[in-house]
Amino acid sequence: MSNNHEPRRRFLRQVLAIVPAASVASGAALTQAACSPSSGKADTPARVDYHPVYLQTAEWRFLLSAVDRLIPEDEYGPGALKAGVPEFIDRQMETPYGYGKLWYMQGPFHSDLPPELGYQLNLAPRDIYRLGIKACDDWCAQQYQGKSFSQLGVAEQEAILMKMEQGQIEFDAVPSNVFFSYLLKNTKEGFFSDPIYGGNKDMAGWKMIGFPGARAAFGDWIDRPNVKFPYGPVSIDGRRA
C-alpha cells in the first residue's frame, strides 16, 4: 500500500509460499464449482466494459480505489485494476461463496472468541462488503469534509487501509479489520485465480510469477528449481497468454 516496491515483492513471495503448485484458483472459486454447476465457472472472460452485478455505484468506486492501493501497477507488471480484480470480487458476491452457503451460518455467533476458533460473525461475504464499504465511506465523510474513500488522495487512502487492517477504525456493522481481511484476501485471489473467474486478465498475475497455469505437461519441470519455465501460462478453458 505504498510506492515502495518491497511490500509488493514481499507480497508475491508470500503468495508463492502458500499457493499449491496444482492450482492458483481461489478457494471460493473451487468450492463454488462443487456447490453449484451453474455458477461455478464463469461463461465469459474479464471485460473492459464490465458492469457490476452486485456492487452499487458508490461501492464499485470504493472497490476500484481500494484494490488499486493494495496491488498498484508498477514496473514489475499490471496492478489489480488491469488484472480485472474488481470484476472478480463483484462476481464472487453472486456465488454460493458470496451468499455464505459454504459456511455454517445458523449460530450461535460469538464475535469475542479467539480467531483460531474460526469465523464467528453472522455476515456472508456480500454483507461484509456492503456494510464495510458504507461504514468506511461514512467514516471518511466525517473525517474529510464529506468526501468518500474514492475521492481521497493516494496517501490518505493508504493510511485509512492501514488503520482498517490494524482495527484502529471502529465500524458499527462489521469490524474494520474483518472487512479489510476479506478485501485483501479476495484481491489476492482475483489477481492469481484462473481468468475464467473474471480476474487475472491476460494472465497478468501468472506471467508475473512465472506460473504455467493449467498446462498438462508441467511435470517435467517440477524437479527443476530456479529454472525459468519457457512457455506462457494456459487457462483452464484453453486460452493461452
Dump pLDDT digits (tens) for 46-98.
Answer: 456 799 999 999 999 999 999 999 999 999 889 999 999 999 999 999 999 99
Q: What is the pLDDT of residue 79?
A: 96
* pTM, 2 dp: 0.79
Non-local (6+) Cβ contacts of 90 within 8 A are: 50, 52, 53, 54, 55, 60, 63, 198
Helix, strand or coil, per DSSP, at residue 72 = coil
CB burial of residue 119 (10 Å; 0-12, 13-18, 19+): middle
pLDDT at residue 35 tops 50? no
**Average pLDDT over every residue of 194-203:** 94
Query: Which tens digit of pLDDT belongs to each residue from 125-159?
Result: 999 999 999 999 999 999 999 999 999 999 999 99
Question: Which grid coordinates are listed for 160?
Answer: 485509512
Q: For the chain, which residues make up each domain, given as ranges?
A: 50-207
pLDDT at residue 195 tops 90? yes
Q: What is the pLDDT of residue 100?
A: 92
The better pLDDT of the pair 214, 57 is held by 57
Cα–Cα dist 119/7, whole Å: 27
